[in-house]
Amino acid sequence: MKLAWSACLCAAACIGAADARAQDTQCVEQNAKPPDGAGIRITTDCAREEGTFRGGRLWGRGKITARDGTVYEGDFIDGRLWGYGKVARAAPDVRWHEGLYYNGIATGVGRRRDENGAIYNGFFYNGAPYGAGVLTFPHGGKLIGEFRPGLGGVGEFVATFPDGTRQTGEYRPMLGQLVMYRPPEGPEAQTSTPAAKAPEPAKPVDPATKAKADVEKAVDVLRGLLKR
């Protein structure tokens, strides 16, 4: 699940060809003087930086669009995400992370989508899930527990399957069952779904009982008005 992305791309990818004129065409603004204040800067890696600059680096709200389409947006200090931010990678490998950043690294509460469509919502430390969190799969199943980098998780996890059933166990077995979950098909699927109950016939209401209930309701409303 860890997103090891970087805003610094290989200069060769930016140039695309060894021709200097091609470089000038692709990064026409990269030789401009770094702005001081609101502005736009194109780096030597063809990353487009937009926002407020101080000493040639983003400070405050800003946005960086890398050449591969990855977007870094949020609060910056000295050119790094610091505070709330979002990093989103473009198609076809759609991934994103939004939440708190510290010195450019996801730390604190946040949400992250991996390339398979699973979304983790919880705490992060040093760029990895660390602490209480919920992992939701595209089919609707969920895994809740204490996540840890490397180990995956510690203690008991609660797995909720798309059919509503729940199981409790260690991280890896519960994760495996959710990943491999397949909805039942054929006759088994029909028998596993409980039949809908027929609506019960309406019971006759005693007029005296109904009148008493109406009076009590009116008294409650009156009491509420008197308290205002």
Distances (CA, A) of 101 to 55, 74, 84, 109: 22, 9, 6, 9
pLDDT at 27: 58
Percentage of residues in the chain having pLDDT higher than 70:
66
Give how far the C-alpha of residue 128 lies from the chain's centroid of Cα atoms, to the nearest Å: 13
pLDDT at 32: 60
Distances (CA, A) of 123 to 100, 113, 226: 9, 14, 48
Distances (CA, A) of 215 to 15, 207, 212, 219, 224: 83, 12, 5, 6, 14
pLDDT at 204: 55
Asked which of 39-53, 61-75, 128-142, 189-203 is least confident by mean pLDDT, the reply is 189-203
Question: How many whole angstroms separate alpha carbon 108 and alpha carbon 122?
Answer: 8
Which residues sit opposite 99 in a β-bridge? 85, 110
Whether residue 15 has pLDDT greater than 50: no
Whether residue 33 has pLDDT greater than 80: no
Q: How confident is the model at residue 24 (pLDDT cuts 50, 70, 90)?
A: very low
In three-state secondary structure terms, 20 is helix
Q: How confident is the model at residue 19 (pLDDT cuts 50, 70, 90)?
A: very low
pLDDT at 211: 47
Interval 189-221: pLDDT, tens: 554 444 445 455 555 555 445 544 544 554 454
Compute, in degrees rounded to 10, the torsion defined by CA atoms 195, 199, 200, 206. 160
Question: How many whole angstroms separate alpha carbon 32 and alpha carbon 120?
Answer: 41
Per-position DSSP letters for 115-183, written without gaps between them? TTS-EEEEEEETTEEEEEEEEE-TTS-EEEEEEETTTEEEEEEEEE-TTS-EEEE-HHHHHHHHHT---
pLDDT at 221: 42
pTM over 0.75: no
For residue 5, what are its two tokens?
A: 């992305």
Mean pLDDT for the stretch of residues 67-82 = 96
Would you say 156 and 169 are in contact if contact means Cβ atoms under 8 Å apart?
Answer: yes
**Closest CA relative to residue 107, chosen from 139, 131, 72:** 131
For residue 178, what are its two tokens?
A: 């959710």
Interval 117-134: pLDDT, tens: 999 999 999 999 999 999
Question: How many whole angstroms separate alpha carbon 212 and alpha carbon 66?
Answer: 72
Q: Which domains does the chain have, with CATH numbers?
A: 1-120 (2.20.110), 137-182 (no CATH)
Average pLDDT over all residues of the chain: 78
Percentage of residues in the chain having pLDDT higher than 90:
59
pLDDT at 184: 76
